[in-house]
Chain A
Amino acid sequence: MAQVTLRKVVKKYDEVLAVRGIDLDITDKEFIVLVGPSGCGKSTTLRMIAGLEEISGGDIAIGGDVVNDVPPKDRDIAMVFQNYALYPHMNVYENMSFGLKLKKTPKDEIDRRVKQAAQILDITELLDRKPKQLSGGQRQRVAMGRAIVRDPKVFLFDEPLSNLDAKLRVQMRTEIKKVHQKVRTTTVYVTHDQVEAMTLADRVVVMNGGLIEQVGSPNDLYHSPATKFVAGFIGSPAMNFIPCQLEQAAGALRVRLNDKLSFPVPADRTTRYTAHVGKANLLLGLRPEHITETRPHSEPNQHDFDMTIDVVEPMGMETLVYFTINGVEICGRVNPNAGAAAAKSMKLRADLSNMHLIDDSTGKVL
């Protein structure tokens, strides 16, 4: 059993608070991804779990034991670094067996484990090469191999893919997921790339400004973000935030964007939103895929409107269209054959059943 528990963990650098008291429960065999913009405290959190940074307050427990003052080597963890941190003077076999040798593991046991890990990662033929003779992707595999052979309680990954080119990154992402499915070790993975977070994680932890904004499965975060930050951070292109007002007319609620444009609020949200009628600083959050070209059949809560398109970006399988409402640039995703063209008017359709209402003064999703 290797659950990791963080209780009110604080990290202070001189007077700067890098991590402001976070609570997190990571269950056994879980793949957790810490994601957030740079400086949000995600790497610091990981390094505190590793024992590379002392914690300024709170408790960290691995497998039920509080490890606040336990040195890294006794925490039974393995870490994969962004720049791989392979020992340049050792070959791949020596790199992978270094930790086991220090622990005085018997030679045949080391040999068995290294060969097994090499097989999992498909690097058997590289075992006697030096790191500088390897490509970026191969070095990344060796770094993972070094972690696997130790058979630790917890794997820690610190932005392991950000040094790779785009194509290799996608490939290695799948590779990491496969390895986790094979070895089933509790994993904490840090990245600033929300796509990596979504694709890899059992649960994603979104951090911002040293605090946890939200913890949830990738789908939870995507479909029911708790804050404006999470709503804007998860998903690409990002969610549109349109200043709006909530008004009550003839017993029904409407979101009014401007004089000409207003949409009725879906019936199932009426009770939830009624209290916010007339409030200032409201934002309508709508993802680009919920603004499409108009179609012959319409579902409930879908509403057509006309808009002059500013910019068109063909992506192949879809086309992104940009237009402006209330001075805010809005992105929509339309069918490539819908005939979108810059500076032309186009009939678009908003799907309000996936709308979010956000109080911009608190940053909370209502």
Chain B
Amino acid sequence: MANATITTGATGAPTRPKYGSMSRDRRWALRWSYFFLVLFAIFFLMPPIYMLITSLKTSAEISAATNPWWISNPTLQNYIDLLSQNQFLVFFRNSAIVSICVVILTMTISVIAAFALARMKFWGSATLATGVFLTYLIPETLLFIPLFKMFAWVNEVFGVQLMNHWWTMIILYPTLTVPFATWIMIGYFASIPKELDEAALIDGATWMQTLTKIFIPVALPGIIAATIFTFTVAWAQFLYPLAFTTSTSELVLPVGIVTTLIKGDVFNWGQIMTGALLGAAPPLIIYAFLMDYYIAGLTAGATKG
């Protein structure tokens, strides 16, 4: 019976239908994957490698017309100079305190906000959730002039000078990080089955207990993903500190490197590259440790938990 549908050739033997073989398809897909992955890896790794090479050269060798990819006289002088300068350590400290405070502030606000928006159905919650995302779409370049005005107003009315203080960044950065972190967490909380909070509700948990005892532990990968994102944004933020801080002691790392190592039209390339590499290290280390969680967080909800 089953043979009836197979067409037979002249010899009577069944002919093999001309479909692509699955293993051959896979082999080709893999070749293309490797090709593009290697291409992208080279493309994206080129700048940091160039930075590393440049950071190991003397200023004389950098300005000499030699092969830029080759180091004739490797030296650690740039690292020694930079790390023995007090101001570089101040930038580093400012950046670290700002970033850690921003992460704590952002995660506290956005986890609670996301829980309310995702779970406690109240009038206007859907509109508010969209509103949160819309605020993320406003570029910071549009915001810093109104912020100047607001700072001036605060100084006038309350007599508090917000300009030129590194701690002002702790209030400023969350305007960028809270909307996005909230948005990630709304998505993550929404993927937790509704029955879970209903079960907690019946078990006698309050909303706050449902959040702390059920949602936060279950959504931990999402929280870690949002934390990494927030840290990266806070650590790498450039525009706000550039606009709002001027004194050397108040600068954060990205602005500090650029403003102190470029004197007029003299670029101290070796130290700039060294500073940039050292500055990129903390996010890199955090990613390396939390990578598994980060990926789990980004793909959560794809399968039934």
By the criterion CB–CB under 8 Å, are B193 and A83 in contact? yes
Please, how many angstroms separate the alpha-carbon atoms of A193 and B130 in the complex? Answer: 41
In the complex, chain A residues 146-183 whose Cβ is within 8 Å of any chain B Cβ: 146, 150
B193, B201, B204, B217 — most chain A CB neighbours (10 Å): B204
- Using C-beta atoms within 8 Å of the partner chain, give the interface range for chain A: 20 to 34
By the criterion CB–CB under 8 Å, are B204 and A78 in contact? no
Q: Does A317 count as interface, using CB distance less than 8 angstroms?
A: no
Q: Which residues of B contact A52 (CB under 8 A)?
A: 198, 201-202
Q: Which residues of B contact A83 (CB under 8 A)?
A: 193, 195
- Of the listed stretches A55-63, A97-105, A207-215, A296-304, chain B binds A97-105
By the criterion CB–CB under 8 Å, are B203 and A85 in contact? no
Mask, A71-106, CB within 8 Å of B = 1, is 111000111011111111100000000110011000
Q: Does A50 count as interface, using CB distance less than 8 angstroms?
A: yes
By the criterion CB–CB under 8 Å, are B209 and A102 in contact? yes
Residue of A nearest to B201 (CB): A72
By the criterion CB–CB under 8 Å, are B198 and A88 in contact? no
By the criterion CB–CB under 8 Å, are A98 and B203 in contact? yes
Mask, B175-214, CB within 8 Å of A = 1, is 0000000000000000001011011111111000100011
Chain A binding surface SS class: loop
Q: How many A-B residue pairs have CB under 8 A?
A: 57
Q: Which residues of A contact B205 (CB under 8 A)?
A: 73, 98, 102
Please, how many angstroms separate the alpha-carbon atoms of A88 and B200 in the complex? Answer: 12
By the criterion CB–CB under 8 Å, are A103 and B204 in contact? yes
Q: Which residues of A contact B193 (CB under 8 A)?
A: 83, 85
Q: Which residues of B contact A51 (CB under 8 A)?
A: 202
Contacts A81-B195, A83-B193, A85-B196 given; indicate if A72 touches B217 (C-beta within 8 A).
no
Residue of A nearest to B216 (CB): A89
Chain B proximity of A47: nearest CB distance (Å): 8
By the criterion CB–CB under 8 Å, are A79 and B199 in contact? yes
Q: Does B46 count as interface, using CB distance less than 8 angstroms?
A: no
Our pick among B195, B203, B214, B305 for the contact of A99 (Cβ within 8 Å) is: B203
Q: Which residues of B contact A150 (CB under 8 A)?
A: 203
By the criterion CB–CB under 8 Å, are A99 and B198 in contact? no
By the criterion CB–CB under 8 Å, are B198 and A79 in contact? yes
By the criterion CB–CB under 8 Å, are A78 and B209 in contact? no
In the complex, chain B residues 140-193 whose Cβ is within 8 Å of any chain A Cβ: 193
Chain A proximity of B192: nearest CB distance (Å): 9
Please, how many angstroms separate the alpha-carbon atoms of A71 and B204 in the complex? Answer: 9
Q: Which residues of B contact A84 (CB under 8 A)?
A: 195
Residue of B nearest to A71 (CB): B201
Our pick among A78, A82, A87, A89 for the contact of B202 (Cβ within 8 Å) is: A78
By the criterion CB–CB under 8 Å, are A77 and B202 in contact? yes
Residue of B nearest to A147 (CB): B202
Our pick among B195, B203, B214 for the contact of A73 (Cβ within 8 Å) is: B203
Chain A proximity of B209: nearest CB distance (Å): 7
B193, B198, B203, B213 — most chain A CB neighbours (10 Å): B203
Please, how many angstroms separate the alpha-carbon atoms of A297 and B271 in the complex? Answer: 109
Contacts A87-B214, A89-B218, A102-B209 given; indicate if A50 touches B196 (C-beta within 8 A).
no
By the criterion CB–CB under 8 Å, are B218 and A87 in contact? yes
Q: Which residues of A contact B305 (CB under 8 A)?
A: 88
Q: Which residues of A contact B202 (CB under 8 A)?
A: 50-52, 72-73, 77-79, 99
Q: Which residues of B contact A146 (CB under 8 A)?
A: 199, 203
Please, how many angstroms separate the alpha-carbon atoms of A88 and B221 in the complex? Answer: 13
Please, how many angstroms separate the alpha-carbon atoms of A99 and B305 in the complex? Answer: 22
By the criterion CB–CB under 8 Å, are B203 and A89 in contact? no
By the criterion CB–CB under 8 Å, are B209 and A73 in contact? no
By the criterion CB–CB under 8 Å, are B217 and A81 in contact? no
Please, how many angstroms separate the alpha-carbon atoms of A150 and B203 in the complex? Answer: 8
Contacts A83-B193, A102-B204, A102-B205 given; indicate if A88 touches B218 (C-beta within 8 A).
yes
By the criterion CB–CB under 8 Å, are A87 and B204 in contact? no
Please, how many angstroms separate the alpha-carbon atoms of A85 and B200 in the complex? Answer: 9
By the criterion CB–CB under 8 Å, are B204 and A99 in contact? yes
Q: Which residues of B contact A98 (CB under 8 A)?
A: 200, 203, 205, 213
Q: Which residues of B contact A73 (CB under 8 A)?
A: 201-205
Please, how many angstroms separate the alpha-carbon atoms of A50 and B305 in the complex? Answer: 25
In the complex, chain A residues 10-53 whose Cβ is within 8 Å of any chain B Cβ: 50-52
By the criterion CB–CB under 8 Å, are B199 and A85 in contact? yes
A-contacting residues of B (Cβ < 8 Å)?
Answer: 193, 195-196, 198-205, 209, 213-214, 217-218, 305
Can you list 29 contacts pairing A with B, beta carbon distance less than 8 Å?
A50-B198, A51-B202, A52-B198, A52-B201, A52-B202, A72-B198, A72-B201, A73-B202, A73-B205, A79-B198, A79-B199, A79-B202, A81-B195, A81-B198, A81-B199, A82-B195, A83-B193, A85-B195, A85-B198, A86-B199, A87-B196, A88-B218, A98-B200, A98-B203, A98-B213, A102-B203, A102-B205, A146-B199, A150-B203
Ranked nearest first, the 10 interchain pairs of A and B with the lowest CB-CB distance are: A99-B203, A85-B195, A73-B204, A85-B199, A89-B217, A81-B195, A102-B204, A72-B202, A72-B201, A79-B202
